[in-house]
Structure 1
Amino acid sequence: MPTTDPLLDVRPEIPRIRHDLIFTTFAALLPGTGFVLVNDHDPKPLYYQLAAENAGEFTWDALEEGPEVWRVRIGRVAAA
């Protein structure tokens, strides 16, 4: 599924700042928009953190699932 959403490639970043970058990017999203996260490992723990802190406010669409690259489109739910 092609996407025109901006990419957030966290692979070159040191691990301890990756989640901060991701959550800052998510917080800046307008309703109905999203970004594509590119990571070097399965971001499933991030999904659980988003679900715990932002239940019902985000979408999660796996675009590529390893083994070397994971790509996930993370979106902010559009206002009703």
Structure 2
Amino acid sequence: MATEDRELDVRTEAPARRHELIFETYTALGAGEGFVLVNDHDPKPLYYQFAAEHTGEFSWDYLEQGPETWRVRIGRVANAAG
């Protein structure tokens, strides 16, 4: 059935490069697939960017919420149009 989600750890990436990597990873997902984002802060601004640009097309589930590490599963909704 489902395979384990790929982990994308952006903690060592330059802040200016992080969103680019995250959206590249998201764009490469098939319907129903996801990845786990690992970050050194709450990626709430990223959530708002996803909500604005991919309304109804993504899922966002916190797996770990700090204080030093945040892990969020970001997925592409299986029944999303597009």
| Alpha-carbon separation, structure 2, partners of 1:54 and 1:28 | 14
Q: TM-score, normalised by structure 1?
A: 0.94
RMSD over aligned Cα, in angstroms? 1.3
Q: TM-score, normalised by structure 2?
A: 0.92
Residue 4 of structure 1 deviates from its aligned partner by 1.9
* Unmatched tracts of structure 2, length 5 or more: none
Equivalent residue number for residue 17 of structure 1: 17
- Count of residues paired in the alignment: 78
Equivalent residue number for residue 71 of structure 1: 71
Runs ≥4 residues deviating over 4 A: none
Q: Percent identity?
A: 72
Equivalent residue number for residue 48 of structure 2: 48
| Alpha-carbon separation, structure 1, partners of 2:4 and 2:26 | 16
* Unmatched tracts of structure 1, length 5 or more: none
